[in-house]
Amino acid sequence: MYKVEIDSDSGYVFNAVAGESKYIMDAKASGGSPLDALLAALGGCLGVYIRKYAEGAKLDLGKIKIMVQAELSSERPMSFKKIQTEIDLGQTVLDERRKAAMLEFVKNCPVHNTLKGSPEVEVKIG
């Protein structure tokens, strides 16, 4: 099971702790909001699966970049209406067959699959 604890002393700054990692989200700042963190989680997960694919295919990937952007719907309940990702493999060139195989593999990312589905989310006040 995955677990993240979030606390806030006041205002819109939230401190998240996941294992040994700490993240700060600020809903009033320009960037670093909880919505940004969700997009970063998707990009990071895709990155993990790109690296796993490359390892299995014995590809030597150098620096990669993953751009994730989304547009928020104006209707209620508010949510992202579309999320777009773009993967830049830098100096690595793949043929069309290898690109298609990599794209199919990275779609195994649990964050991607969670966003595609409709997971049950339970909210309690303790």
The Cβ of residue 109 has, within 10 Å, a number of other Cβ atoms equal to: 21
Q: What are phi and psi of 25, to 5 degrees?
A: -120, 140
Query: What value does the mean pLDDT take over residues 48-68?
Result: 96
Report pLDDT for 101. Answer: 97
- On the question of pLDDT at 124 being above 80, the answer is yes
Mean pLDDT computed over every residue of the chain? 94
Report pLDDT for 26. Answer: 94
Query: What value does the mean pLDDT take over residues 76-96?
Result: 94
Please list the residues that pair with 7 across neighbouring strands: 15
* Single-letter code of the amino acid located at 102: M
pLDDT in tens, 2-56: 999 999 998 999 999 999 999 999 999 877 999 999 999 999 999 999 999 999 9
Report pLDDT for 29. Answer: 81
Q: Are 100 and 47 in contact (CB under 8 A)?
A: no
Q: Are 66 and 43 in contact (CB under 8 A)?
A: yes
